[in-house]
Amino acid sequence: MAESRKLRMGMVGGGPGAFIGPVHRIAAEMDGKIQMVAGAFSQSAERSRAAGERFGIDAARAYADYRQMIEVEGKRPDPIDFIVIVTPNHLHLPIALAALDAGIPVMSDKPATATYEEALALEAAVAKSGLPYGLTHTYAGYAMVREARAMCAAGRLGKIRKVAVEYLQGWMSKPIETTGQKQAAWRADPAQNGLGGSIGDIGTHAFHLLEYISGLQVTAINATLRSVVEGRRLDDDCNAFVRLTNGAAGALACSQVAAGELNELRIRIYGEAGSIDWRQQDPNRLIVRWLDGPEEIRHAAAPYLSPDALAVGRTPAGHPEGYLEAFAVLYREFADALVAWQQGNKNPLPATLPGIVAGVRGMRFIERAIESSRKESWVEF
Amino acid sequence: MAESRKLRMGMVGGGPGAFIGPVHRIAAEMDGKIQMVAGAFSQSAERSRAAGERFGIDAARAYADYRQMIEVEGKRPDPIDFIVIVTPNHLHLPIALAALDAGIPVMSDKPATATYEEALALEAAVAKSGLPYGLTHTYAGYAMVREARAMCAAGRLGKIRKVAVEYLQGWMSKPIETTGQKQAAWRADPAQNGLGGSIGDIGTHAFHLLEYISGLQVTAINATLRSVVEGRRLDDDCNAFVRLTNGAAGALACSQVAAGELNELRIRIYGEAGSIDWRQQDPNRLIVRWLDGPEEIRHAAAPYLSPDALAVGRTPAGHPEGYLEAFAVLYREFADALVAWQQGNKNPLPATLPGIVAGVRGMRFIERAIESSRKESWVEF
Amino acid sequence: MAESRKLRMGMVGGGPGAFIGPVHRIAAEMDGKIQMVAGAFSQSAERSRAAGERFGIDAARAYADYRQMIEVEGKRPDPIDFIVIVTPNHLHLPIALAALDAGIPVMSDKPATATYEEALALEAAVAKSGLPYGLTHTYAGYAMVREARAMCAAGRLGKIRKVAVEYLQGWMSKPIETTGQKQAAWRADPAQNGLGGSIGDIGTHAFHLLEYISGLQVTAINATLRSVVEGRRLDDDCNAFVRLTNGAAGALACSQVAAGELNELRIRIYGEAGSIDWRQQDPNRLIVRWLDGPEEIRHAAAPYLSPDALAVGRTPAGHPEGYLEAFAVLYREFADALVAWQQGNKNPLPATLPGIVAGVRGMRFIERAIESSRKESWVEF
Amino acid sequence: MAESRKLRMGMVGGGPGAFIGPVHRIAAEMDGKIQMVAGAFSQSAERSRAAGERFGIDAARAYADYRQMIEVEGKRPDPIDFIVIVTPNHLHLPIALAALDAGIPVMSDKPATATYEEALALEAAVAKSGLPYGLTHTYAGYAMVREARAMCAAGRLGKIRKVAVEYLQGWMSKPIETTGQKQAAWRADPAQNGLGGSIGDIGTHAFHLLEYISGLQVTAINATLRSVVEGRRLDDDCNAFVRLTNGAAGALACSQVAAGELNELRIRIYGEAGSIDWRQQDPNRLIVRWLDGPEEIRHAAAPYLSPDALAVGRTPAGHPEGYLEAFAVLYREFADALVAWQQGNKNPLPATLPGIVAGVRGMRFIERAIESSRKESWVEF
């Protein structure tokens, strides 16, 4: 049966030293629907081959260039079904455009592009192509994020009044980009990372989660970006106020110089009737605090959860799922959508899977935050 | 021995229905250094007498008016040694002035006064009188707040870069001030509470804690105050950015409409070497997150704490102290200072005990926050 | 009004170096119903006087001997209303008997006596005297213990099937009794502490809490006591199984050599419908885990609590109460009962206040645990 | 390169309705070293084929019988490299023997067999075959379990004195085995599950973790097994004391009727210098409580961890790994060992990977616990 074959994935980026390449590979393959069969892992042919070998990829399908991969794969009887882009940010757009141009669906690491203008261009290209495009805002894949989203959508909290989202890390507390730390080096380089530093790297996750869970949109922002570490060219710390479509307001913070924090992504949403509180480092629990009753802790995979939350888990309650499982949820949804698309469905992407719209929002967020910080005032979205 | 007698306290406010009167009584008397012997608990003679009886006060010393208490007590052989002011905010100044004028030291609930101008007037009066004046910023009495303060003072965190302090409650999520809830009623009334709502009631605690622990001062603020509940005349929610003397920056939030929160006062301070994290609802622990080592949890009364932290506890490690004990620490420090003052020490107040300087800072904070919110921009302190 | 005067307390024990004397003084006086006016704080006249002075006691009422205190106070116009016993355990019985013999009600630190036989003798004496006798099983005073007890009594958990209670400390991990640590020295001495070490000192608290909350009684025990630290004469570690009246079973553990633990008293009770989980080091929260719904956290002073839990608090939800407040709840209940007794009520003690029955149970527990450990088998109660 | 090809796995069991089959598939394939290519998923040919299709297995390799699988695969040019056994317990032995007999290495779900005698037989067969045999005691694959083990091995806690391990679930609180719940049905059936109920199903995990982390062995046990739910034929609740090789002692508890608990596996080990505390439901943190210093929280993937702990992770600190990742660690270690074995290494299994020795210990534990409970006394191992 053709339907039950695994989808073939080709990766761009993710070569030696990259953290995110292996993560995408594991996540893509976890649910048995996708197999990574090709890759342009590095711009060095040798390094790309080495990466391919480590990934167990046929040597002939480890390319030194994404254009080459697109071209050669296109001529195979078993070509890749889609590409995933895991390069530094400045390459996201050209790679995505090349794939779309060749009729190849795209899964992309975030942010979608390096600038807001690029995001608009990509949005147009996606629309024109009619091809599936997914964006791995990983945290959207956690079961309890889905539960939080379902609760907001169902009005369980009453009218939302206040939000607070923060994403704090400490790993760039020292100028490690100057000492050969590869992850830090490209993130601190405007040419590779785009105009935003922490705001783009992690602030976009916080922003996405806020809109994804609340169902509201940010309409204005007042942000203060700082480069705390001396000599750093991009922001490494940000505090922002936001206003939301329904009149609610809130705060968004991100930092990569919050010494001692590992990966503290937390979101709280306050409604008239109660509030929710979720932390990525404790992802299988959702705290719900009611105005008129005891605090509640909802656990992943428990039978009382919403269908949306129950749909994405793999293990029974009490058996923790983590970052890779959340990531894999997005790939599973993308895979199912891709099969549907191959079978003729023109709009196969589910609302739960972040796509180009989220990508454009995220780039708009970065651009508006930087503008606001420059002006030291509120700016509209 | 005259030295070992208990100090005599007279209370103004705290009559029937008040929450904070009994709290002050317990806190004042906890360490065996103070006894409440008189009070003008209510402006109704009958209610004051009823309160006095409940407190076990001699009926002759339950006054209907603070001026009367000051006058009558002054003629007794065993007069009150000091007064404590626990009325709604708008009465703080006149009562304090009357006491100082009569040569009576003052302990006051916060905020010091109803407006910044009043605070300046009070500061001048205190200076002129040479009398001890203490301000019950309760949270400054917790052992682990003292530990945090000592760590900052000793430079354990390295240079401070970032702060985040929040004080979230949910109890005013509905317009309860319109339904006879006394605590809410006066807090929602500008005439009694001053210009600030949540910013004055709890924001000042957050602000005080920030400066108290970090040892830094706020130099500028950008605040957004909202009245979320329809019809409410004072703010019930605030988000603010702050800048600090050493160039650090941060965020301060307070809310009384954060549905589901009880009394979530939390402060995090990030330095170059690590960070501290303290929550009032879990007060006997201080979390320390190091940039280069495991996370640490310091426990109240443990032998490895700083002398400042160990000085204030009463029970062994693992035997929780709470809000009343923190409150009592301030009274103990005030009592010791008062005895020293009675013995001739002109400057007896310890740096650990909040006083009129903190009071002025707090009122400045409220005034600046309101101004900033009105202007929608940064304002200098 | 005679009724509103404070009750007068005389303390036996609690002199210099004692931890628990000041704790009792604070707890007794916290709610304004009791004042400590006399004491036989030490068997050294000088040390007793010094303690009295530090407590602010009239020098004439700081006695060197409890018999003297009983005699002299009995002749005063304002004699003590009751005594509190805070000596090492072996003195509990003679002091209590002397007081009862003189018609003086007794509040006693636990355990009630040094042996089970003594407890039976005391029980008889209390019965014969008709005098109020209270036992400060401190943890029974926490609001959330009252909530747990009320939930069990109301059948909220369904039939109870399983219990687990533990009380773990680490402070005796080294042979500190040989190096002058006074608290450890008497606890490690059978002549002063009775036959049980950790089982008597803290195991009894665990045992009491189990019966107090569950409403069930232990019917059999299988205990293993150990003296882990070389040379220690009394047990410092115990694991036990227990069977309960309704057929339920469980585990009880205590240790004073659990290195790193501070004061980890925790109880879990499992019923057919759900379970409760309470930790003394996080006392203002009660975790309730339902078989068929989300986990719940109940907070002290929240309006949804049982009347029993709400009756004992002093501060609003989110303002932590601690060990001293729990202690003070027992004194408040004792004070109210004492006033009622003085007014003619023959059975004034409320069921919530531990008394001689709990004292006998506790001594029976120690005796049975030791017997079981000696036999290495189950023994009936 | 032959070395870089994926190892081929054949599964026995794991058909429709099974929870653990898909878990093994994901875990086995996660690190890119193994691919499931065949299976005898069910004893029904149709159901096996359906399972194979869902797993994306070639229809020809979905067998209805494990014997058939062994025979047919043995004739293929690309035969399975090993089998994994995920059937109910009573089938573990015959399947393992058949595989070993055919020269096929075995990975087995735990327990190794249905009885202790079977385990001894299997141990002999494994020894005779010289084939790699691995046992998926999942929890041994968590990074922080490795850290705890490394700390014990390095003597960081000093001499171990006391252990406490518990594994509590509530999902069998009702007699669900009588209402068609498949997972419960076979577990409650002695013919399929062996003599132990909860003691075998989860108690063995607790027992394994205790020996695995502490490096000590249990020498005696005193266990009380109960069937709390009326009519249940196997135990659903157990409390046990244990003695360990170095003279330490402790407690082990397991339950499947602890209503409200999800999967509460927790282990605490107390040494002279401090203690460790790990909970499976919060698996990326290891709490270390020192006798003489602050409590510590060690985080998975943090640079200060032991090499053993760092070796097994895939994601940066703060990106949670969960149950599937822990499971996959065992498969990765098994795969590496298998490759080494295929290359001639006779003893390729690392000490960190549970194998037949752990399997025999586990079955001995079950047998001894049941014997102890029957006798109501201690029994030696």
The answer to whether A24 touches A110, Cβ cutoff 8 Å, is no
B301-to-B265, B315, D296 alpha-carbon distances in Å: 21, 7, 17
User: Letter for the amino acid at D300?
Assistant: A
**Chain C neighbors (3+ CB pairs < 8 Å):** A, B, D
Distance between C318 CA and the closest CA of chain B, angstroms:
5
Q: How many Å apart are CA D37 and CA A32, to the nearest integer? A: 12
Which of D55, D302, D319 lies closest to A32 in CB terms? D55
> Would you state the pLDDT for residue C4?
63
Q: Do D32 and A25 touch (CB under 8 A)?
A: yes
Query: What does the pLDDT look like over A341-381, one tens digit per residue?
Result: 999 999 999 999 999 999 999 999 999 999 999 999 999 99
Predicted confidence pLDDT, tens digits, chain C (381 residues): 334 689 999 999 998 777 889 999 999 999 999 999 999 999 999 999 999 998 889 999 999 999 999 999 999 999 999 999 999 889 999 999 999 999 999 999 999 999 999 999 999 999 999 999 999 999 999 999 999 999 999 999 999 999 999 999 999 999 998 887 777 777 777 777 777 899 999 999 999 999 999 999 999 999 999 999 999 999 999 999 999 999 999 999 999 999 999 999 999 999 999 999 999 999 999 999 999 999 999 999 999 999 999 999 999 999 999 999 999 999 999 999 999 999 999 999 999 999 999 999 999 999 999 999 999 999 999
pLDDT at residue D4 tops 70: no
Residue C152 neighbours by CB under 8 Å, 6+ apart: C160, C213, C214, C215, C269, C271, C276
The answer to whether A15 touches A42, Cβ cutoff 8 Å, is yes
* DSSP letters spanning A211-230: HHHH---EEEEEEEEE--ST
Search chain A and give the residue with CA nearest D55: A32
Evaluate if pTM is beyond 0.95: yes
Domains and CATH numbers, chain D: 2-139+328-353 (3.40.50.720), 143-311+361-380 (3.30.360.10)
Test mutation, D286, D295, D297, D304, chain B, max B CBs within 10 A: D295
Beta-strand relationship, C274-279 and C264-271:
antiparallel
Chain C residues touching A298 at Cβ < 8 A: 294-295
Q: How many Å apart are CA D122 and CA D100, to the nearest integer? A: 10
Search chain C and give the residue with CA nearest D175: C272
Q: Which DSSP letter does residue A201 get?
A: I
Is any Cβ of chain A less than 8 angstroms from the Cβ of B35?
no
**Average pLDDT of the residues of chain D:** 95
Q: Which residues of D212-244 are buried (b: 16+ CB within 10 A; e: fewer)?
A: bbbebebeebbbbbbbbbeebebbbbbbbbbbb
Residue D176 has, within 13 A of its CA and on its CB side, a CA count of 14
> Would you state the pLDDT for residue D216?
98
Q: Do D316 and A56 touch (CB under 8 A)?
A: no
**Chain A neighbors (3+ CB pairs < 8 Å):** B, C, D
Chain B residues touching A228 at Cβ < 8 A: 161-162
Torsion of CA D315, D316, D320, D326, to 10 degrees: 40
**Average pLDDT of the residues of chain B:** 95
Is any Cβ of chain B less than 8 angstroms from the Cβ of C44?
no
Is any Cβ of chain C less than 8 angstroms from the Cβ of B325?
yes
User: Letter for the amino acid at C288?
Assistant: V
Is any Cβ of chain A less than 8 angstroms from the Cβ of D167?
no
> Would you state the pLDDT for residue B3?
41
> Would you state the pLDDT for residue C192?
75
pLDDT at residue D313 tops 50: yes
> CB count, 10 Å around CB of D374?
11
Q: Do D282 and A280 touch (CB under 8 A)?
A: no
Q: Do C284 and B281 touch (CB under 8 A)?
A: yes
What is the edge-to-edge ordering of all strands in the sheet holding D82-86?
Answer: D34-40, D7-13, D82-86, D106-108, D133-135
Distance between B281 CA and the closest CA of chain A, angstroms:
14
Strands (E), chain D: 7-13, 34-40, 82-86, 106-108, 133-135, 160-168, 218-226, 237-244, 249-255, 264-271, 274-279, 285-290, 295-299, 379-380
Q: How many Å apart are CA C124 and CA C130, to the nearest integer? A: 10
Within chain B, which residues score under 70 in pLDDT? 1-4
Closest CA to C300 of B10, A336, B97, B281: B281
Test mutation, C295, C298, C299, chain A, max A CBs within 10 A: C295
Within chain A, which residues score under 70 in pLDDT? 1-4
pLDDT at residue D244 tops 80: yes
Chain C residues touching D274 at Cβ < 8 A: 259-260
Chain D residues touching A302 at Cβ < 8 A: 262
Search chain A and give the residue with CA nearest C298: A294
> Would you state the pLDDT for residue D9?
98
Closest CA to C277 of C151, C136, C138: C151
Residue D332 tokens read as 């990765």
pLDDT at residue D3 tops 50: no
Q: How many Å apart are CA A166 and CA A171, to the nearest integer? A: 16
Residue B113 neighbours by CB under 8 Å, 6+ apart: B89, B92, B93, B96, B119, B121, B122, B194, B359, B363
Q: Do D322 and A325 touch (CB under 8 A)?
A: yes
Search chain B and give the residue with CA nearest C27: B30
DSSP lists the bridge partners of residue B174 as none
Instruction: Tell me if residue C354 falls in helix, strand or coil.
Output: coil
Quote ipTM for the complex: 0.95
**Chain D neighbors (3+ CB pairs < 8 Å):** A, B, C
Is any Cβ of chain C less than 8 angstroms from the Cβ of A291?
no
Q: How many Å apart are CA C191 and CA C195, to the nearest integer? A: 8
